[in-house]
Amino acid sequence: MVYEQIAYGLDADFWSPSLTMSTGTRLLGTVKRAGFFSQESLVDLMDDVPLELQAIASWAALLIWRRAQLAGAMAVIAVVVIEAS
């Protein structure tokens, strides 16, 4: 995403449910789930990250986690249907 002509990235870590926010090579912090089944996020970003970007990062993280959860559920359904055939 671009905010005030600065490009920010929100990258998923393969081994952890957290996302890291960065700009270029500078790490700005992380967005983590509050708990395994929680729909809340813990935003731990540097103080110079605008509040608007912190809110967008939290919203994007929740959306990414929700889509991953739905994709996993659809994969389980597909396996059950294939095995039943």
pLDDT range class, residue 56, cuts 50, 70, 90? confident
pLDDT at 84 over 70: no
Question: What are the tokens at 30?
Answer: 């992380």
For the chain, count helices (H), then strands (E).
1, 6
61: DSSP letter: H
- pLDDT score recorded for residue 85: 44
Specify the pTM.
0.67
pLDDT at 4 over 70: yes
- pLDDT score recorded for residue 30: 85
81: DSSP letter: H
- CA 48 vs. chain centroid, Å, equals 20
